């Protein structure tokens, strides 16, 4: 019997990364070495701050859908994540 | 410490404007706040600079103030996040359109451009609005600012002019020509101005100012376009229902690309928690005008307690029983718009010069004073 496949492959800004199944998009960003979720009004880099859906700093685009909270979204196999959006 | 000529209690938009005005006119001013400048209701509201005309004296105060805002903003656009987006008073039916028309005429007569729009012209001007609206009045020169930044700037202006500030220091009591801080320290002054918003009544029990709660929500930044502050003609006219809740859609575009959504009025509620049932009604009324809001993302919601009075007018002038105490409070939902006008009128009265507008409607004496 083969062991269950415990990883998901997601694409962060065009780069494929494997992450354990069930982790949030924030973990995938870290795995992809991308410590930026979006840009503020003045162009500053932002990243997950509170990690519990309150601060709203970690908004990314998931599968083309803007303004998703990276800390509140679980990675799914084949997911594409785009960072650096300015809204 | 040299005694100041004037102590202003409260560094909201109203108190900060009064303090800067009095200092600019040569008085030595100390501005005191229990928190930080602009941290009270001033930080919670919407920052719509809007000419309201429910009464002639309200319009007088608005126009006096808006002229002063123009002068202020001509030097500080960036700081205040100002945008002259104009107001669209949106009419959902013919009855509301008739009211809108009267408003357009009243504002137009006073030189504050207001243009009537047909339903079709409205749809072309603001495509995010739902189809089938009766029309609107567009008030071209109304605008939007970020009020706490202005309060802070006015406090800085005060200091730059030689005035003083004490923040993080609550005032425990106001006497005739003196205040006592929570620490027990007493500071005397020629005059004291009570500009503590909803807290004025605690300091001066015969000046009745009560909280009128509003709920707000703000969206994430969006590429969608909203060019005007959109307000339902029902705003301010909506009678409170049996549950004392009046809701009317009011959506404001911020320069960040966010949409700020308000608002409702509730009396008799003293807790500042967001009530999901009430917030839902506010959002539903906004979505009814701007359907695309339904699939936008709300990132924050909060409430604010408007400092209200029983006749809907602010209290500006000398305290009826304490000759060295002055009041500038109770501006309800219009304190940002009317802050500079309030400061000018108060200064007129304090410096005993001819008043810029009729002062009687705002006089603290209108609340019958019962001597202790
Ligand atoms: C939902 C909502 C929407 C609004 N929208 C608009 C709008 O679009 N346009 C508009 O013009 N207005 C609007 N307003 C109204 C506006 O925000 C208020 O009228 C205005 O901010 C009142 O300013 P203020 O300086 O009187 O009060 P505050 O900003 O509350 O200032 C009072 C200050 O006094 C201080 N203070 C209180 N007690 C003490 C004490 N004992 N000792 C020392 N300091 C003390 C507080 O810390 C506070 O900083 C809105 C308000 C709300 C709630």
Q: What confidence tens digit (pLDDT) does each residue in B289-309 have?
A: 999 999 999 999 999 999 999
* Confidence class for position B372, pLDDT limits 50, 70, 90: very low
Report how far ligand 1's centroid is from the alpha carbon of A18 (Å): 51
Are B259 and B251 within 8 A, CB to CB? yes
Cα A6 from Cα B13, distance rounded (Å): 57
B6-30: average pLDDT:
98
Percent of chain B surpassing pLDDT 90: 91
Average pLDDT in chain A: 92
pLDDT band at A32 (very low <50, low <70, confident <90, very high): very high
Residue A3 has pLDDT above 70, yes or no: no
Nearest CA in chain B to A69: B299
CA–CA distance, B264 with B246 (Å, rounded to integer): 5
In order of A64, B48, B179, B219, B293, the CA distances from B296 in angstroms are 15, 22, 48, 7, 5
Determine whether the shortest distance from the Cβ of B154 to ligand 1 is under 6 A.
Answer: no
pLDDT-derived band at B371, boundaries 50, 70, 90: very low
Lowest mean pLDDT among A82-86, B56-60, B161-165, B326-330: A82-86
What is the DSSP track for B91-159? ESSHHHHHHHHHHHHHHHHTT--EEEEEHHHHHHH-TTSPTT--EEEEETT-EE--HHHHHHHHHHHHH
Q: Identify the weakest region by mean pLDDT among A3-17, A23-37, A63-77.
A: A3-17
Residue B370 confidence (pLDDT) above 60: no
The mean pLDDT of chain B is: 95
User: What average pLDDT does the segment B117-121 reach?
Assistant: 97
Q: Is the pLDDT at B238 greater than 90, yes or no?
A: no
A18 to chain B, closest Cα gap in Å = 29
Instruction: Report the candidate in B139, B136, B140, B131 with the shortest Cα–Cα distance to residue B91.
Output: B136
Asked if B220 reaches chain A (Cβ–Cβ under 8 Å), the answer is yes
Name the residue of B8, B12, B47 to mutate for ligand 1: max ligand atoms within 8 A of Cβ. B12
* ipTM given for this complex: 0.78
Task: Using a cut of 0.80, tell me whether the model's pTM lies above it.
Answer: yes
Those residues with Cβ within 8 angstroms of residue B211's Cβ, 6 or more apart along the chain or in another chain? B198, B267, B269, B270, B305, B306, B307, B308
Does residue B117's CB lie within 6 angstroms of at least one atom of ligand 1?
Answer: no
Which of B62-76, B105-119, B234-248 comes out lowest in average pLDDT?
B234-248
Q: B156-186 b/e with 16+ CB inside 10 Å = b?
A: ebbeebebbbbeebebbebeebbbebeeeee
Q: Which atom of ligand 1 is nearest to the CA of B171?
A: 42
CA–CA distance, B243 with B154 (Å, rounded to integer) = 39
Q: What mean pLDDT is predicted for residues B135-148?
A: 97
Mean pLDDT of B344-356: 98
Decide if pLDDT at B243 tops 70.
no
Closest CA to B345 of B109, B60, B69, B151: B60
State which residue of chain B sits closest to A40, comparing Cα positions.
B256
Residue identifier of the C-alpha nearest atom 51 of ligand 1: B45
Q: Using DSSP bridges, classify how beta strands B29-33 and B6-9 pair: parallel, antiparallel or unpaired.
A: parallel
CB atoms A86 and B221 under 8 Å: yes
């Amino acid at each position: 019997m083969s062991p269950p496949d415990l990883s998901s492959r997601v694409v962060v800004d065009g780069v494929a990364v494997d992450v354990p199944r069930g982790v949030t998009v924030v973990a995938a960003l870290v795995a992809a070495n991308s410590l930026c979720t979006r840009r503020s009004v003045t162009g500053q880099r932002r990243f997950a701050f509170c990690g519990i859906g309150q601060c709203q700093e970690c908004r990314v685009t998931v599968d083309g859908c803007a303004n998703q909270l990276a800390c509140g979204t679980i990675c799914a196999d084949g997911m594409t994540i785009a960072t650096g959006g300015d809204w | 410490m040299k005694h100041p000529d004037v102590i202003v209690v409260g560094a909201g938009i109203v108190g900060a404007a009064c303090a800067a005005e009095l200092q600019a006119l040569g008085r030595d001013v100390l501005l005191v706040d229990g928190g930080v400048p602009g941290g009270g209701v001033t930080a919670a509201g919407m920052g719509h600079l809007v000419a309201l005309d429910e009464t002639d004296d309200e319009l007088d105060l608005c126009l006096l103030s808006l002229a002063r805002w123009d002068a202020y903003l001509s030097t500080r656009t960036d700081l205040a996040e100002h945008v002259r987006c104009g107001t669209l008073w949106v009419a959902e039916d013919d009855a509301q359109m008739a009211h809108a028309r009267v408003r357009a005429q009243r504002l137009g007569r006073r030189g504050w451009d207001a243009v009537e729009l047909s339903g079709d012209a409205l749809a072309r001007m603001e495509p995010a609005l739902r189809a089938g609206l009766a029309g609107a009045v567009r008030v071209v020169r109304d605008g939007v600012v970020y009020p706490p930044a202005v309060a802070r700037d006015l406090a800085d202006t005060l200091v730059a002019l030689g005035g003083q500030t004490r923040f993080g220091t609550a005032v425990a009591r106001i006497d005739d020509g003196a205040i006592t801080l929570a620490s027990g320290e007493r500071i005397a002054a020629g005059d004291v101005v009570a500009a503590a918003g909803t807290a004025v009544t605690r300091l001066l029990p015969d000046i009745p100012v009560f909280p009128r709660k509003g709920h707000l929500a703000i969206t994430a930044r969006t590429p969608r376009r909203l060019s005007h502050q959109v307000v339902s003609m029902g705003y301010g006219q909506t009678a409170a229902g049996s549950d004392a809740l009046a809701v009317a859609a009011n959506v404001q575009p911020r320069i960040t690309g966010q949409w700020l959504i308000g608002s409702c009025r509730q009396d008799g509620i003293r807790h500042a928690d967001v009530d999901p049932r009430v917030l839902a009604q506010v959002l539903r009324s906004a979505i009814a005008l701007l359907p695309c809001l339904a699939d936008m993302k709300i990132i924050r919601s909060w409430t604010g307690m408007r400092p209200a009075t029983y006749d809907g007018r602010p209290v500006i002038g000398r305290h009826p029983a304490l000759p060295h105490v002055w009041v500038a409070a109770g501006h309800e939902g219009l304190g940002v718009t009317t802050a500079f006008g309030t400061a000018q009128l108060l200064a007129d009265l304090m410096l005993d010069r001819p008043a810029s507008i009729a002062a009687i409607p705002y006089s603290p004496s209108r609340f019958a004073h019962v001597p202790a």
